[in-house]
Amino acid sequence: MVRLRYARPVLPVNNHHYPNVSNVLLDIYRLLTIFMAAEAISELDVPQSYGNDPLQQFGDFESDEITRILLTVAATVRVIDDRESRLFDFLSFDCGSLTRDVASPGESTALTIREACNKILHD
């Protein structure tokens, strides 16, 4: 007879969280593959089956998956930044920019890694 044992959950050390960075890197890899493959996939000519485009069904997952990955990565980066007393402040470069109005693309604001994560999580 198989007997299952309850494993105690691993609690954060010193009230801090230590996320699995390998999982974050895997998610970033997945995000890159989505972006790199999207155009090539959209150009495929696939016969429709019963009026349904099978690639369109996969495409419907794309936005949700991008959102899931961005939220996961942003939350993990913030946890690490908070735990390490603003570790990413030591990086002296901006990681991107925010264009508030795409009709005026010349007006953008530079973002640090922490600010970019905040935008993803809170806006």
Q: Write the CB contacts of 98 (distance below 8 Å, at least 6 apart in sequence).
A: 108, 109, 111, 116, 119
Q: Which amino acid is at 56?
A: Q
So where are the chain's domains?
Answer: 21-42+55-122
Q: Give the tens place of pLDDT for each residue, 12-70.
A: 666 677 778 889 999 999 999 999 998 888 787 777 666 677 677 777 788 899 999 99
- In this predicted structure, what is the pLDDT of residue 6? 63
Confidence of residue 74 (pLDDT cuts 50, 70, 90): very high
Give yes or no for residue 72 having a pLDDT over 90: yes
Q: Tell me how crowded residue 15 is: count the other CB atoms within 10 A of its CB.
A: 7
Give yes or no for residue 7 having a pLDDT over 80: no
Average the pLDDT over 114-121 and give the result. Answer: 91
